Amino acid sequence: MNPFLELGIRHEIVNAITELGFEKPSPIQEKAIPVLLTGNDDFVGLAQTGTGKTAAFGLPLLEQLDFSFNQPQALVLCPTRELCLQIAKDLEKYAKNLDNVHVVAVYGGANIGDQLRQIRRGVQIVVATPGRMLDIIGRNAIDFSQVKYVVLDEADEMLNMGFQEDINNILSETPADKKTWLFSATMPREVRRIAQNYMTDPVELTVGTKNTGNENIEHQYFLIKAKDKYAAFKRIVDYYPEIFGIVFCRTKIETQEIAEALIKDGYNADSLHGDLSQQQRDKVMKRYRERNLQLLIATDVAARGIDVNDVTHVINYSLPDEVENYTHRSGRTARAGKTGISISLINVKEMSKIRHIEKIIGKSFERKQVPQGTEVCEKQLFALVDKVHNVEVQEDQINAFLPQILESLQDLTKEEVVKRFASLEFNRFLNYYKDAPDLNIEARESSRGDRDRDRDGGGRRTSKGFTRLFINLGSVDEFSRGEMLGFICNNSKISGKSIGKIDLKGVFTFFEVEDGEVNKVFQGFQGVNYNGRGVRIEVSGEGRSDRGSSNGRSRGGRSSDRNSGGGRGDRRDRGRSNGGGGFRDFSGKRRESKSRY
């Protein structure tokens, strides 16, 4: 017996979804459908996008609404126009064999007159984005008095997008005894609050672990220098000739720049961001869906609700500011039981962000090496060979030319012909990657390390008149050297001029302070916490400028002899121009946001 029938879904619907290729329920469907079919409970389902949520709530809705009368009985709220259209379309497909089912999609950026007309004609299911829904409610154009079910789909995204107030207002228009079904990929406090405020004893279901990304996603990161990012990105893309990816940037400008650079470099790419008109967005999405684009470069907001199956890679060209967005981004791949790869391009400072994401999603990232030029060439060569092997030959078209082609090539052996065909494409990559450097950070570091040593005269000597101090914060705490300078100056209330070399390490930093200012540093950092950790300052084992007195890592014996020092280069100037106040707020407390790194 068909497992959907066993769950209690009627034949007509099962036949329709079988045609869509649904053979057995996905995990969320298997768990949610029996609960929702009772129609007695509020419901909270924690599941990623692409797990089959639409049918999980859609099938029970179709089972329970009374289609013999034409009044709104179910309202589905979702964050974006794309998702709204998708859900409405899906519901219509599931209901294909049922009579008199009317679904309307209500979303912004489209003619409201058409939507109002459809509502007037009579609908039972309204799928809507919150803004347009409120607009229609405000016109008194809809009667929600018969609504039995409200579905909040991708609730976390709706709240991220600032729809909290709109949702409250819409819900207040629906009958008190309706049932509310909430689906969310993550469960931040705000979503939990909705559940508390609007639901009674909801049945809670989680597919996978809470906050955990889809199991079928492999999370990888590449450690590179910021300046090598674009080159490394292209190399990774070239390494996957069949890539069908979404590339996430943090800003519209970055999105545009990357897309333009890629187009110039001959890639099938385009950008999707908030400055595009709805028409332009639709056009880009159509090209992407139809696979005329291989790479879609998008901002988080623009990519919300993108529902394209078979995305092979999500590339975080820049990591998102909010950890939740990482889950949303990576959830664009590995949909409908497929596998996918989520790649992050990061520099050393961003390692702490990766660790933080790992904690939240409960999965480890694997560090990958940026492929060498030769590896890319090899990959491309074999992709080409595969293409030749699989190309569809249009016999009737090519046959007419075949004798002439064979004649032109008759002086070549089979091997020579093969070599030449392969070289047509292969040469391009060989030329491009000729002398391509290793972009992995160790390789870059070791060559730079030599240079630095030369410049520093071969050692880490403390400058004259300065004391070398240790602080238990470093690049993994997201400090650049400039930021560390600001942090020290702000807390110690000393000028940037008094700070010498700053040697930023992973979990700690050495920095030089004019001997006369050392006490201020110790005083300034007393009791300071950073990210919940006590900040610790010590005199570095290497000691002070008057080398020879070995203070070890103790706080005692600081010298008071003052020396003007010198030769500290531009950092000193930077400190001065910033006056100690122009840095990020590193007053020791750190921004407090649930979801930031």
Q: State the amino acid at position 509 in one-letter form.
A: T
**Least spacing, CB of residue 277 vs ligand AMP, in Å:** 26
**Least spacing, CB of residue 301 vs ligand AMP, in Å:** 19
Q: Which two tokens stand for residue 80?
A: 């974006």
Query: With respect to ligand AMP, which residue has the nearer C-beta, 54 or 255?
Result: 54
Coil vs helix vs strand at 427: helix
Q: HSE (CB half, 13 Å, CA atoms) of 60?
A: 29
**Least spacing, CB of residue 335 vs ligand AMP, in Å:** 5
**Least spacing, CB of residue 213 vs ligand AMP, in Å:** 14
Considering only 7, 13, 16, 29, the residue that binds ligand AMP (CB under 6 A) is 29
| Residues numbered 51-70 forming contacts with ligand AMP, rule: CB under 6 A | 51-55
Query: With respect to ligand AMP, which residue has the nearer C-beta, 50 or 575?
Result: 50
**Least spacing, CB of residue 45 vs ligand AMP, in Å:** 11
Measure the CA dihedral 222/284/95/11, to 10°.
Answer: -40
Question: How many residues form the binding site for ligand AMP (CB under 6 A)?
Answer: 17
Q: Is 248 exposed, middle or buried (0-12, 13-18, 19+ CB in 10 A)?
A: buried
**Rounded Cα distance, 221 and 249, in Å:** 15
Strands (E), 49-113: 74-77, 103-106
By CB under 6 A, residue 26 contacts ligand AMP:
yes
Q: Which two tokens stand for residue 99?
A: 């009579």
Query: With respect to ligand AMP, which residue has the nearer C-beta, 156 or 307?
Result: 307
By CB under 6 A, residue 309 contacts ligand AMP:
yes
Query: With respect to ligand AMP, which residue has the nearer C-beta, 21 or 548?
Result: 21
Which helix (H) or strand (E) segment holds residue 503: the answer is strand 499-504
Report the b/e string of 194-227 with b at 16+ CB within 10 A: bbeebbeebbbbebbeebbbbebbbbbbbbbbee
Backbone angles phi, psi at 468, to 5 degrees: -90, 120
**Least spacing, CB of residue 98 vs ligand AMP, in Å:** 18
DSSP 8-state assignment for residue 333: S
Interface segment toward ligand AMP; rule CB under 6 A; list 48-56, 292-300, 480-488, 581-589: 48-56
What's the start-to-end Cα distance of the chain, in Å?
49
**Least spacing, CB of residue 109 vs ligand AMP, in Å:** 21
Considering only 21, 458, 527, 581, the residue that binds ligand AMP (CB under 6 A) is 21
Contact 49, 328 (CB under 8 A): yes
Measure the CA dihedral 53/59/60/63, to 10°.
Answer: 170
By CB under 6 A, residue 22 contacts ligand AMP:
yes
Query: With respect to ligand AMP, which residue has the nearer C-beta, 21 or 556?
Result: 21
**Least spacing, CB of residue 311 vs ligand AMP, in Å:** 12
Query: With respect to ligand AMP, which residue has the nearer C-beta, 336 or 507?
Result: 336
How many residues in the chain?
Answer: 597
Query: With respect to ligand AMP, which residue has the nearer C-beta, 48 or 325?
Result: 48
Which helix (H) or strand (E) segment holds residue 231: the answer is helix 229-239
Considering only 9, 33, 50, 439, the residue that binds ligand AMP (CB under 6 A) is 50
| Residues numbered 311-340 forming contacts with ligand AMP, rule: CB under 6 A | 335-336
Contact 397, 391 (CB under 8 A): no
C-alpha closest to that of 486 among 464, 506, 504, 460: 504
Query: With respect to ligand AMP, which residue has the nearer C-beta, 305 or 373?
Result: 305
By CB under 6 A, residue 31 contacts ligand AMP:
no
Query: With respect to ligand AMP, which residue has the nearer C-beta, 52 or 524?
Result: 52
**Least spacing, CB of residue 51 vs ligand AMP, in Å:** 5
Query: With respect to ligand AMP, which residue has the nearer C-beta, 307 or 515?
Result: 307
| Residues numbered 396-425 forming contacts with ligand AMP, rule: CB under 6 A | none
Residues that bind ligand AMP in the complex, under the rule CB under 6 A? 20-22, 25-26, 29, 49-55, 307, 309, 335-336
